[in-house]
């Protein structure tokens, strides 16, 4: 079913608005280019002069042109070897911003009793800070390995395996959404999932309401709500 324009820059398909925000119990957010304004891996790569190379891989992965997301992330992270924690701190303090309407939407969801989940193919260095800044309940993302010894404080170009697995890709985002719903004793149809890239589609496909935010074409095509102009809080226009 083709999406129908709801208002300028906002399109819907598969339902008639408004839905009731209180009818949902969980909202899941992607981080990079959804909840925040940058792709962190690209900006980190800028510290070693490789932003363009890494950004090209990121763009292809987000458009769904690279089938193996895990391998694409390993390739990008390998190029980060030698980046320092201080470099990442600079990205956080000088480049990373919440996208317009992010805090307003999160607060509205929290006020309506929804739990919040941040699932990212990015890194805990950033997701943990966004979690604390917004009071998000649950997170899942990747851990960058940091050198000890003579190169203490520099990235090794690898990620650290975690108890749940190695890399948070699309399949892991879906798994985390389903596990969080089970933990809360709710149906996935009582969840909202928001993202912009192809690796968000598996979790968006499980949710009762899927939202594409300034997203890649493949994601817009499959989402129930497309926010193509304005901030994340435009979702509230279709949620009473």
Q: Which phi-psi region, left, alpha or beta, contains residue 165 (left: φ > 0; alpha: ψ -120 to 50)? A: left
Q: Which domains does the chain have, with CATH numbers?
A: 9-238 (3.40.50.1000)
Per-residue model confidence as pLDDT tens for the chain (240 residues): 578 888 999 999 999 888 999 999 999 999 999 999 999 999 999 999 999 999 999 999 999 999 899 999 999 999 999 999 999 999 999 999 999 999 999 999 999 999 999 999 999 999 999 999 999 999 999 999 999 877 789 999 999 999 999 999 999 999 999 999 999 999 999 999 999 999 999 999 999 999 999 999 999 999 999 999 999 999 999 998
* Residues, the chain: 240
Tokens in use for 123?
């890194």
Catalytic residues: 30, 32
- For residue 104, say if its preceding peptide bond is cis, omega within 30 degrees of 0: no
Write down the pLDDT at residue 149.
75
Whole-prediction pTM value? 0.96
Write down the pLDDT at residue 1.
58
Listed residue (211, 216, 232) closest to 19, CA to CA: 211
Q: With H, G, I as helix, E, B as strand and everything else as coil, classify residue 18.
A: coil
């Amino acid at each position: 079913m083709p999406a129908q324009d709801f208002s300028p820059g906002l399109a819907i398909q598969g339902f008639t608005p408004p839905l009731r925000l209180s009818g949902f119990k969980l909202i899941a957010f992607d981080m990079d280019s959804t909840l925040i304004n940058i792709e962190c891996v690209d900006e980190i790569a800028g510290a070693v002069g490789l932003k363009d190379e890494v950004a090209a891989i990121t763009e292809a992965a987000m458009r769904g042109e690279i089938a193996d997301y895990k391998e694409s992330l390993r390739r990008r992270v390998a190029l980060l070897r030698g980046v320092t924690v201080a470099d990442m701190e600079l990205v956080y303090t000088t480049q990373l911003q919440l996208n317009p309407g992010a805090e307003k939407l999160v607060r509205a969801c929290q006020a309506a009793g929804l739990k919040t989940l941040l699932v990212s193919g990015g890194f805990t260095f950033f997701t943990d800070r966004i979690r604390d800044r917004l009071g998000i309940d649950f997170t899942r993302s990747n851990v960058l390995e940091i050198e000890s010894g003579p190169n203490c404080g520099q990235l090794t170009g690898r990620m650290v395996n975690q108890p749940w697995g190695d890399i948070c890709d699309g399949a892991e985002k879906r798994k985390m959404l389903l596990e969080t719903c089970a933990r809360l004793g709710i149906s996935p149809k009582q969840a909202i999932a928001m993202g912009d890239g192809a690796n968000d589609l598996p979790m968006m496909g499980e949710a009762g309401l899927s939202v594409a935010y300034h997203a890649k074409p493949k994601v817009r095509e499959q989402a129930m709500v497309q926010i193509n102009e304005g901030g994340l809080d435009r979702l509230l226009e279709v949620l009473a």
